[in-house]
């Protein structure tokens, strides 16, 4: 799965109508609507859009016939397997009606081209784990966390040792847990969903 590394733009004219696709990486609904407000062009006829954040998505036709704008934009996002993205297609009407099929092709095609030409970055699924070790195994914990490139989020000393919350790539999580268990001869407590 991929997301955008930075904002992207693509412009195309179809039968005298100007379509401008603008895409931005987002991580929340608030960011999506903030992007929409920021790029709004007051003289444009339509601002059709779609966003996808994980399993959450939404699209809007902004006065175009139902299903001819927002849905094709969302389809472009899904077909290219991009997540955490908002695409807004701004249309300046040129006086010639395109029909339902023409609109869907214009909105979907412009969105797809915008996303295809954008700088993408791979999304790495992460997970958090909580580890509790005795004082004897703190060095082992730090060493293995570094080896698996886990990021320390929190750390707290207790009367019996150390509690640490780590963030790690989901695919590496089971291996880290197994390595910690082996290196401490099972004298470790791990809370995780990996």
Query: Hey, is 158 helix, strand or coil?
Result: coil
Single out the residue of 178, 176, 187, 170 nearest to residue 132, CA to CA.
187
Task: Give the pLDDT of residue 191.
Answer: 87
Helix intervals (H) in the chain: 29-39, 70-79, 99-117, 138-147, 173-183
Compute the CA torsion angle 94, 100, 101, 105 (nearest 10 deg): 50
Task: Give the pLDDT of residue 91.
Answer: 97
Task: Give the pLDDT of residue 55.
Answer: 92
* 151: CATH: 3.30.70.240
CB 71 within 8 A of CB 11: no
Task: Give the pLDDT of residue 78.
Answer: 96
How far is 21 from 186, CA to CA, in rounded Å?
A: 55
For residue 142, list its beta bridge partners: none
pLDDT at 194 over 80: no
Residues 20 and 87 in one domain: yes
Task: Give the pLDDT of residue 116.
Answer: 96
Q: Which residues contact 145 (CB under 8 A, 6 or more apart)?
A: 152, 164, 166, 176
Task: Give the pLDDT of residue 193.
Answer: 78
Residue range(s) defining the domain that contains residue 177: 126-192
Task: Give the pLDDT of residue 11.
Answer: 97
Residue where a domain stops, chosen among 104, 122, 140: 122
Residues 51 and 83 in one domain: yes
pLDDT at 166 over 90: yes
Q: How far is CA 136 from CA 53, 179, 187, in A?
A: 43, 16, 10
Per residue in 107-160, pLDDT (tens digit) is 999 999 999 999 999 888 889 999 999 999 999 999 999 999 999 999 999 999
Per residue in 68-87, pLDDT (tens digit) is 999 999 999 999 999 999 99
Mean pLDDT computed over 39-48: 96
pLDDT at 53 over 80: yes
Residues 157 and 117 in one domain: no
Per residue in 14-39, pLDDT (tens digit) is 999 999 999 999 999 999 999 999 99
Q: Is 63 left (phi over 0), alpha (psi -120 to 50) or beta?
A: left
Residue where a domain stops, chosen among 122, 140, 164: 122
Task: Give the pLDDT of residue 6.
Answer: 95
Q: Which of 26-40, 157-171, 180-194 has the lowest mean pLDDT?
A: 180-194
To 10 degrees, what angle do helices 99-117 and 70-79 make?
40
Residues 111 and 162 in one domain: no
How far is 3 from 31, CA to CA, in rounded Å?
A: 14
Residues 52 and 92 in one domain: yes
Residues 75 and 153 in one domain: no
Residue count of the chain: 194
């Amino acid at each position: 799965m991929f997301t955008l590394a930075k904002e992207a733009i693509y412009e195309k004219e179809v039968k005298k109508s100007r379509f401008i696709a603008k895409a931005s990486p987002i991580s929340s609904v608030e960011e999506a609507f903030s992007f929409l407000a920021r790029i709004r062009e007051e003289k444009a006829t339509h601002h059709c859009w779609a966003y996808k954040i994980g399993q959450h998505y939404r699209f809007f036709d902004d006065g175009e016939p139902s299903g001819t704008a927002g849905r094709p934009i969302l389809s472009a996002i899904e077909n290219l397997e991009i997540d955490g993205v908002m695409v807004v297609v701004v249309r300046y009407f040129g006086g010639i009606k395109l029909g339902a099929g023409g609109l869907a092709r214009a909105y979907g095609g412009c969105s797809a081209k915008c996303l295809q030409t954008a700088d993408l970055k791979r999304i790495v699924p992460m997970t958090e784990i909580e580890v509790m070790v005795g004082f004897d195994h703190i060095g082992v914990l730090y060493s293995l966390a570094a080896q698996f490139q886990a990021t320390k989020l929190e750390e707290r000393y207790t009367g019996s040792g150390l509690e640490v919350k780590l963030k790690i790539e989901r695919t590496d999580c089971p291996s880290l847990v197994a390595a910690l268990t082996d290196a401490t001869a099972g004298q470790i407590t791990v809370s995780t969903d990996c």
